[in-house]
Amino acid sequence: MNGLFKGGDTIYNFSGGVHQEPLQALNAEFSWNTKAPGYRIPTTYEECRSLWEALSDNRETPEQIYGANGFLPLVCQKIYGTNAGVLLSRFTVLFEPQPQQDNAPLVPDLPGKLYPLSVLWGVLSRDETSWDLMISNPRTLRTLQRLKLTPTAWQLRLSRVWSTYENITNRGIELVKQALSSQDLKGETREDVEYLRKCLEVGRRFAGLLNSFHEVLAISGENQQFKLKSAVSRTQEKFNELSRHIDSNFALDTVCPLGGDQGFWIESMEKIRNRLEQLASQIV
């Protein structure tokens, strides 16, 4: 769609971040080129918006990028090695559809396609509005009203989505492990791929924690003390497992001033821990 900006003096393209070396290569190859393979130049505002949203949500995946002979698999092989690149190309496009009900995603505020969790700030910031049984966020309240859902039913939906996130992240970890074991993985990329694996392990544990945490919130509205006590205990153990993994695998003293994704992990864990302690204190 870069052809839309012909005549512009300056164009800013966001070129990806950590874990996104193939995207950085794609931007370097395509950002300057208004007639790159698969280019599209919409002629109306409606067509432009529709195409942009479809590309942003990965509902449209151009063959020239994602196909067997497209840019993505080829650049992954150049970056990581032939066999390792094939595995990491598969990882890049790996997803599971969000569970649905009545032909619609269970949680409209979360993505329709759930990818392995290597970066968490986006999905955590969306989910955070539901870290209490009594929702106060206006947008989330409107969603509950539109779907005619009780707070308990909403929490159970979120729990199912995080269970799916946990499953797809596990599958992603297996592909990354295979790439790390590949004999042709380029030596200069091993550190990056290993760091990707460690971040995915955080994502998997966060998904398991939030699956359990939303179940706890759902149970907290049922006035079942024994069931709630057991669920809180299970969730606290998942929290402790995540905390131990982060402490033993990451040095958190060197981050950007705003904390980066790792800073968001710590902030989110603090909020979850406080909420769990509040719930535990209410159990007789």
Tens-place pLDDT, residues 162-182: 999 999 999 999 999 999 999
Mean pLDDT of all residues in 38-49: 88
pLDDT tens digit string along 108-140? 989 899 999 999 999 999 999 999 999 999 999
Q: Please report the pLDDT score of residue 59 as a whole number.
A: 83
Mean pLDDT rounded to a whole number for the chain: 90
Best CA proximity match to 102, nearest among 147, 52, 44 = 147
Q: Please report the pLDDT score of residue 257 as a whole number.
A: 58
Mean pLDDT of all residues in 35-53: 87
Residue 31 has pLDDT above 80, yes or no: no
pLDDT tens digit string along 181-225? 999 999 999 999 999 999 999 999 999 999 999 999 999 988 788
Residue 254 has pLDDT above 70, yes or no: no
Domain ranges (residues) in the chain: 2-66, 96-281
Q: Please report the pLDDT score of residue 26 as a whole number.
A: 84
Best CA proximity match to 42, nearest among 25, 54, 30, 59 = 54
Best CA proximity match to 171, nearest among 110, 66, 90 = 90
Alpha carbon 169 to chain centroid distance?
A: 9
